[in-house]
Structure 1
């Protein structure tokens, strides 16, 4: 239906009247982010076994900035968007060169029906498992590698979330966008979280179809947390059956030799940890990650193990600003050796500062 003005109006005035939101609508846009930088001492930093000292992005959080927008549409429904970009504080470069909003780029609706979002967003596995991680997923590769069996984020995805009392259910589907095939490059996942009092429990299943080979990855995870006094305990498990080469591509050193066997990589991984609020200002974290790998790089019987231990201590000056120290140790054997190129082990010690805005 067209709108015919009674009096002559300029094109700009007419467009403003037609496009103006209802008077009840209220909107807001918020800029947020975190700046986190650290000085790191790292062993086995090159093929000669030399150590390295460098300034890096934060050990706890990757530096980022973002925008969140919300508009009240009435009746308990609102429209929203979120744009988030990672950057390297040590040199000012973008975390993903050529991509502005690498961490999040979504638009959606939320209300009594739940929340529906479309765009580039976290996968079901990463979102659900990461929320119950003792480090909330560390920033360094040596503290976040356990999640690299997944793709972290997936573009062109649709995500639906709905809360039912203590339960939260979520579903997602990502379009492959490949001509001639609906399945190739696609991903779907589902998750269920229960949170009541001091206890949380979550389970997630996700499968991804490779864009080129058409191989299928199926990954399942379960995780929990329990708060007791000033300490919160965490545990999680994943079972990954990967014929889409996701884990190999993300974890292994570039150029690692691939075999020709028609086998799928299999991971049986677990984590455990604790976060202890020692004082109102001091937070201590301990985390342990383990992965048992089979048939890596399309080679039957190419098995290995990787494990990592992480300790953190953080002192908060305020709710926004803190300093911290972290030490992590990684060890690999067998097929996992290609994940650390220069040795079967690596140690990192870091001190840093973090500020939220």
Structure 2
């Protein structure tokens, strides 16, 4: 009876995204790091991660709302996990409170650093040809899915809004193992937004996933977004530093999104990466995408791109078929994908 009464005061929503298509890559990287040949095949999550989940809210009165979110990545190619850190509901699993003071959440959640990366990416962190393959190539899932975490996001005051997150490693006798923290700050004025974020995480802790989601990773980011009518321009600088891997990479990126018609959206971006420890290791990636909205729920899309690797750089174009598509051999790799996305 108590459970029924509590449910009646709130709401629970089932949501999801189903995304799949065909992928072509002119090169792939084999186990030895050399050219493994062309790839033509089905791809799950060609543009955005396929996923499903539950969200719930309860109005507590006085402007205070209780909330929860459970989100799992799925692979529509085989029905298994994908983009979910190896766990059921491995994308998000948290509970919190929201009110005039802002929002507090506890549990598995995205870091402020990763959320800022999304805000500053001209292609909305597409699975193909965006800041996302760069991030995952360098730091895997560290800083994306943050377990055992507590966060606070402030309301926007005089144009400023900030977020803080602290994740506990949970390892007895070693408080620093698996410890992660992140923060972001943004300022909005008319069509201009300036954003900055950082992330610092230690390896270890009690959260065990495959691959490990807690590398020794430090990230720093700053960028700007400008919106005018149907056009949105974005530019950013990010530094990725991963302990023990030799990764200390600067990434400069930018691009445009233009709503050509109510049914057709075009976007494109370019990213240049360079290793501070070895300037001969660098890469240039560019991608262009078009999305045609058949309805509010169903979208057809096409994407093309190229990544040019030098030195020991192995930047790939696409996330969905990792590691085959997330890493690429030296030289230029060209790719394209077409697909369909449905949200519910």
The TM-score, its normalising length taken from structure 1, stands at 0.81
Q: How many residue pairs end up in the alignment?
A: 316
Partner of 1:159: 151
Determine the C-alpha separation between the residues in 2 that align with 1:39 and 1:310: 16
C-alpha deviation, 1:131, in angstroms: 1.8
Partner of 2:252: 270
Change in Cα spacing, 1:97 to 1:156, as seen in structure 2 (3 Å) is closer
Partner of 1:185: 178
Partner of 2:200: 207
Are positions 1:103 and 2:80 aligned together? no
Q: Please say if residues 41 and 54 of structure 1, whose CA atoms lie closer than 8 Å, have aligned partners that are also in contact.
A: yes
Structure 2 residue runs without a partner (length 5+): 206-213, 317-326
C-alpha deviation, 1:141, in angstroms: 7.5
Q: Please say if residues 83 and 106 of structure 1, whose CA atoms lie closer than 8 Å, have aligned partners that are also in contact.
A: yes
**Partner secondary structure for residue 155 of structure 2:** strand
After the TM superposition, which residues 105-184 of structure 1 pair with which residues of structure 2 at under 5 Å, given as runs?
A: 105-140=93-128, 144-148=132-136, 149-150=138-139, 151=142, 152-165=144-157, 166-184=159-177
Are positions 1:293 and 2:286 aligned together? no
Q: Please say if residues 64 and 98 of structure 2, whose CA atoms lie closer than 8 Å, have aligned partners that are also in contact.
A: yes
Q: Please say if residues 192 and 203 of structure 1, whose CA atoms lie closer than 8 Å, have aligned partners that are also in contact.
A: yes
Determine the C-alpha separation between the residues in 1 that align with 2:221 and 2:256: 19
Q: Please say if residues 302 and 335 of structure 1, whose CA atoms lie closer than 8 Å, have aligned partners that are also in contact.
A: no
Partner of 1:27: 10
Change in Cα spacing, 1:202 to 1:302, as seen in structure 2 (3 Å) is closer
Partner of 1:224: 224
C-alpha deviation, 1:49, in angstroms: 4.8
Change in Cα spacing, 1:180 to 1:28, as seen in structure 2 (3 Å) is same
Are positions 1:41 and 2:24 aligned together? yes
Higher RCO, 1 or 2 (CA under 8 Å, sep at least 6)?
2
Specify which of 284, 295, 315 is matched with residue 292 of structure 2: 315
Determine the C-alpha separation between the residues in 2 that align with 1:274 and 1:141: 13
C-alpha deviation, 1:223, in angstroms: 1.8
C-alpha deviation, 1:303, in angstroms: 5.0
C-alpha deviation, 1:302, in angstroms: 7.9
Structure 1 residue runs without a partner (length 5+): 1-15, 249-263, 296-300
Specify which of 86, 89, 99 is matched with residue 76 of structure 2: 89
1:185-220 deviations in Å (ceiling 9; x for gaps): 1011111112233111111122112228x9954321
Structure of higher CA gyration radius: 1
Partner of 1:252: none
Determine the C-alpha separation between the residues in 1 that align with 2:219 and 2:100: 31
1:211-245 deviations in Å (ceiling 9; x for gaps): 28x995432101211112321001111123432x4
C-alpha deviation, 1:341, in angstroms: 4.8
Determine the C-alpha separation between the residues in 2 that align with 1:215 and 1:126: 15
Partner of 1:242: 242
Q: Please say if residues 308 and 329 of structure 1, whose CA atoms lie closer than 8 Å, have aligned partners that are also in contact.
A: yes
Change in Cα spacing, 1:20 to 1:93, as seen in structure 2 (3 Å) is closer
Change in Cα spacing, 1:216 to 1:323, as seen in structure 2 (3 Å) is closer
Determine the C-alpha separation between the residues in 2 that align with 1:192 and 1:98: 30
Q: Please say if residues 288 and 309 of structure 1, whose CA atoms lie closer than 8 Å, have aligned partners that are also in contact.
A: yes
Q: Please say if residues 38 and 55 of structure 1, whose CA atoms lie closer than 8 Å, have aligned partners that are also in contact.
A: yes
Determine the C-alpha separation between the residues in 2 that align with 1:286 and 1:123: 25
